[in-house]
């Protein structure tokens, strides 16, 4: 549900990002997926997990990336590649280390699995306040005078006519297919097969060298 909501909402986020103030869209995204994270920690069943994490969190997160990259591109005209690389590196480093911290919190705190959702959700709401006061915004259009808007139909026709765009979309889709499956099941696999602590499983699932060494010692061929 998370991936479905995220995937369906991203095009809408891009469409709105070209028409609305991008700072407020980023702030809206941060607020919604932080609330979704927090409510997931208060949830008590499968339906709550699907609604709060799958729908609220997934849809909220989708509205971040398009306006954020648009703002980065406009602020960093001469250092765009560097800015994007730092932004992307932060994303994956955050994923990797949050696997460790989330597992540690779930194992050591009385709230167990709820603890990471409650703590990170509250931190996200606090970060939204910081963004509100310190994040800058720029006009979506630099030109003055009348700006001709391109329709959604024309935009889609242009994208679909570009072979490179279609190949990039296909390649990225394949990458996400593998990425989601790997991140979803590898921590459980390491816990059940090798008795990893949750924090070690969360970190090792995104650090192949450490998990490979462990499987060799255990004499189990994980492929």
pLDDT, tens digit (0-9, with 9 covering 90-100), for 13-49: 988 888 888 999 999 999 999 999 999 999 878 899 8
Which among 185, 20, 199, 11 is positioned nearest to 102, based on CA atoms? 199
* Fold entry, domain 1-138: Growth Hormone; Chain: A; (1.20.1250)
Mean pLDDT of 45-72: 90
pLDDT, tens digit (0-9, with 9 covering 90-100), for 98-111: 888 888 888 888 88
Domain extent listing, the chain: 1-138, 147-212
Mean pLDDT of 153-160: 87
Q: Which contacts (CB < 8 Å, 24+ apart) does range 100-103 have?
A: 100/199, 100/200, 100/202, 100/203, 101/199, 102/198, 102/199, 102/202, 103/187, 103/197, 103/198, 103/199, 103/200, 103/201, 103/202, 103/203
Look up residue 174 and give its DSSP letter.
H
Cite the beta strand spans of the chain per DSSP E. Answer: none
pLDDT score, position 221: 45
pLDDT score, position 102: 87
**pTM to 2 decimal places:** 0.77
**Integer Cα distance of 155 and 157 in angstroms:** 5
Mean pLDDT of 60-84: 91
**Integer Cα distance of 162 and 140 in angstroms:** 25
**Integer Cα distance of 141 and 154 in angstroms:** 19
pLDDT score, position 218: 46
**Integer Cα distance of 8 and 171 in angstroms:** 18
Residue 170's contacts (CB-CB under 8 Å, 6 or more residues apart) are none
Mean pLDDT of 142-146: 53
pLDDT, tens digit (0-9, with 9 covering 90-100), for 194-209: 999 988 888 888 775 5
Q: Is 46 exposed, middle or buried (0-12, 13-18, 19+ CB in 10 A)?
A: exposed
Q: Is 74 exposed, middle or buried (0-12, 13-18, 19+ CB in 10 A)?
A: middle
Is 143's pLDDT higher than 80? no
pLDDT exceeding 70 applies to what percent of the chain? 89
pLDDT score, position 36: 93
**Integer Cα distance of 168 and 164 in angstroms:** 6
pLDDT score, position 179: 85
Mean of the per-residue pLDDT values for the chain?
85
């Amino acid at each position: 549900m998370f991936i479905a909501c995220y995937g369906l909402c991203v095009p809408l986020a891009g469409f709105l990002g070209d028409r609305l103030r991008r700072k407020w869209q980023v702030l809206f995204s941060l607020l919604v997926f932080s609330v979704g994270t927090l409510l997931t920690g208060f949830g008590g069943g499968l339906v709550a997990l699907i609604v709060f994490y799958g729908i609220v969190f997934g849809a909220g997160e989708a509205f971040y990336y398009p306006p954020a990259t648009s703002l980065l591109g406009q602020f960093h005209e001469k250092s765009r590649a560097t800015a994007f690389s730092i932004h992307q590196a932060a994303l994956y480093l955050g994923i990797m280390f949050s696997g460790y911290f989330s597992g540690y919190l779930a194992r050591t705190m009385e709230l167990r699995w709820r603890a990471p959702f409650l703590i990170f959700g509250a931190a996200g709401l606090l970060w939204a306040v910081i963004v509100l006061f310190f994040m800058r915004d720029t006009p979506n259009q630099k030109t003055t005078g009348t700006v001709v808007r391109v329709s959604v139909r024309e935009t889609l026709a242009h994208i679909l006519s570009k072979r490179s765009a279609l190949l990039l979309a296909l390649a990225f889709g394949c990458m996400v297919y593998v990425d989601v499956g790997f991140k979803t099941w590898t921590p459980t696999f390491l816990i059940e097969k090798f008795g990893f602590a949750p924090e070690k499983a969360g970190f090792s699932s995104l650090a192949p060298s450490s998990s490979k060494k462990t499987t060799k010692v255990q004499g189990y061929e994980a492929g």
